[in-house]
Amino acid sequence: MLSKLFLDIAPLTVSLFFIMGAFVVFQIIFSGIRKILQSKNINIDEYALRSVLGIIYILVLLFIMQSSIRNANESWIYINFQIVSVIFYTVILSVHFQYHIFGPIILAFMLFNSAIYSWQSWCLAIILIIFYYSLNYIKTHTKEKFPFFHYMLLSIILGSAYWYFTALKFSISNDILIKEIIYLIIMELFTFGYIAILYTDIESRTALFKEATHDKLTETYNYDAFDIDFRSLFKNTAVTNVKSTMMMFDIDHFKNINDTYGHLTGDKVLRSVVKIVQNIIQNTDPNIKLYRTGGEEFNIIFPNYSVQSTQEIVEQIFQAVNHSRIPIDGHLINVTISVGVSEINESDVSVNDFYSRVDRALYHSKRNGRKEITVI
């Protein structure tokens, strides 16, 4: 337990630990709610969930803090947390600028503090709105992944202005004003530094994840990613009884392309085929995934699709690739594919039962002259 003596002696240290704890607690709450919703098979927009939850979390935190010092002599002691809360809401949650949300919140906060008739309070509200808008502007109009120095400069300028009007409203001495501005700058350094580390960590983990789950040549998902998603799909289908389908296709006579034009040309053909297929998938349903599971073999998983509902997109992919003439080094290379399609059914005891059936469908297409779609 932190004693009052420690709070009085080291308010900055306590503030920094409080900020970090607030960030961690929010992430725990968000992750917990997301897992609960996912376990109940409830489709959610994580961005919207994070935004709504963030608004509620910040408001509850601020009102609890403000209630504890309402009508007290030093009712300004949580000013720095108000500024950091705006940073948290704007930079960490990445919520778009919305007057209809932010304005009423500030108005309610002023009514709560009986400050509606204070001109200094209106100046403080305007500064917060400008701060919020400016953070969003920096975030969307700079090429840097995390514009640390832009954020810091803006926060120091507007934070100091915020404290200036606070000092006018509460008749705060210059010594306390300077000390609180210094505290604010340190807290902002800590906050933006913490966020910068998170960004770096996320980028590193994203890069590692992509390297582990994506094929280096075609940049589509690799066999490891396919194996994980395929088993997960089979398990979810068994639990929810929702139809799911898989398409497997193979580039016809690919060895002849390599032998005739060389492996570099073969690589270009693979990338071209992937581009054709990915464009169709993205324009149809981004939840559909393409995987390179062998040299010239690919799989497409259709979650929540029956065979009948995949017929149009399978045919579209089939026709698009088979009618393509890929220009490479002065040559126009005609590419065709053989396709096998099937959906998970009740007789499939394991993932191997389903996979083998799709594989048999593909083999049937290849054995019967290729350039064919077989559905089992």
Residues taking part in catalysis = 296
Local structure of residue 173 (DSSP, 8 states): -
Tokens of 213: 């789950």
- How far apart CA 129 and CA 98 sit, in angstroms, is 10
- Which residues lie closer than 8 Å to 196 by C-beta, 6 or more apart? 146, 148
Q: Could you give the CA distance from residue 184 to residue 299 in angstroms, rounded to a whole number?
A: 54
What are the C-alpha distances in Å from 223 to residues 17, 220, 227, 297, 359?
44, 10, 6, 10, 15
The two structure tokens encoding residue 160: 């100091």
Which amino acid type is present at position 76? W
Phi-psi region of 241 (alpha: psi -120 to 50; beta: other; left: phi over 0): left
CB neighbour list of residue 229: distance below 8 Å, 6 or more residues apart: 221, 289, 291, 301
Q: How far does CA 245 lie from the centroid of its chain?
A: 26
371 close to 252: Cβ distance less than 8 angstroms: yes
Contact 257, 266 (CB under 8 A): yes
Question: Helices marked H in 113-241 — which ranges?
Answer: 119-141, 148-170, 174-213, 223-240
Q: What is the DSSP letter of 328?
A: E
Q: Phi and psi at residue 334, in whole multiples of 5°?
A: -85, 130
226, 213, 153: which is closest to 185 by C-alpha? 153
Phi first, then psi: what are they for 323, rounded to 5°?
-100, 10
Q: How far apart are CA 236 and CA 242, in angstroms?
A: 8
Q: Does an H or E element contain 287, and which?
A: none
